[in-house]
């Protein structure tokens, strides 16, 4: 998929400590996470729910073991997420503005890589006032494990509905509800 769709974000959610999960299976899960390198991964420890088949299944995994396995999965993914976030530094991305965080003094939103409410955010420095629902061109300038910080390069005026950034050999044209187009000049 990554070869066919460069820049694609691949997300998954896992359950750890399901009844019958062996140490070897858990190790294979960790190996798979490191090999597949998901853009985003959520995980949760199995929780016994009355009335379900799994609640009465043999070989229940103990609570402490489930917790340790969950921590191992999240630590493996944090390494991958931080590397992926750092690789975004210097890129220009189309960001959907979602709001303003008064405590941080930053706008926040998401690119096409982040799912709402479950993935990291793009935190934005902007010289001007932005509007939720607005798309902007932003250059990523800093990365944390899950969030990146960017500076707004160009934002549409309230009545234009589009924005354009011309920077060096690259030109980005953005329109809400349309695909990002990027052209690289070959001079």
On the question of pLDDT at 130 being above 80, the answer is yes
**pLDDT by residue (tens digit) across 15-68?**
999 999 999 999 999 999 999 999 999 999 999 999 999 999 999 999 999 999
Of 153, 159, 120, residue with least CA distance to 136: 153
Q: Give the DSSP per-residue string, 47-59.
A: ---TTSTGGG-SS
Antiparallel, parallel or unpaired: β 163-167 and 148-154: unpaired
Say if pTM beats, i.e. exceeds, 0.95.
Answer: no
Q: Enumerate domains of the chain plus CATH numbers.
A: 11-86 (3.30.750.200), 92-184 (2.40.50.140)
Q: Which comes out higher in pLDDT, residue 6 or 146?
A: 146
165 touches 92 (CB < 8 A): yes
C-alpha 174/C-alpha 109 separation (Å) is 16
Of 100, 103, 145, residue with least CA distance to 123: 100
Give the chain's mean pLDDT.
85
Tokens coding 115: 């799912």
125 touches 140 (CB < 8 A): no
**pLDDT by residue (tens digit) across 68-83?**
999 999 999 999 999 9
| pLDDT at residue number 156 | 55
| pLDDT at residue number 116 | 86
């Amino acid at each position: 998929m990554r070869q066919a769709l460069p820049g694609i974000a691949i997300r998954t959610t896992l359950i750890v400590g399901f009844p019958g999960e062996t140490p070897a299976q858990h190790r294979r899960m960790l190996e798979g996470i490191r090999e597949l390198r998901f853009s985003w991964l959520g995980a949760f420890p199995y929780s016994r729910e009355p009335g379900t088949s799994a609640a009465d299944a043999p070989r229940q995994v103990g609570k402490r073991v489930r917790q340790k396995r969950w921590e191992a999965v999240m630590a493996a993914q944090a390494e991958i997420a931080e590397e992926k976030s750092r690789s975004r530094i210097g890129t220009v991305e189309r960001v959907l503005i979602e709001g303003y965080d008064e405590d941080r003094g930053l706008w926040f939103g998401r690119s096409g890589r982040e799912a709402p409410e479950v993935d990291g955010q793009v935190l934005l420095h902007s010289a001007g006032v932005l509007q939720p629902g607005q798309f902007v061109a932003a250059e990523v300038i800093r990365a944390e494990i899950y969030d990146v910080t960017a500076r707004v390069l160009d934002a549409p005026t309230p009545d234009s509905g589009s924005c354009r950034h011309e920077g060096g050999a690259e030109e980005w044209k953005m329109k809400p509800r349309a695909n990002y187009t990027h052209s690289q000049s070959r001079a």
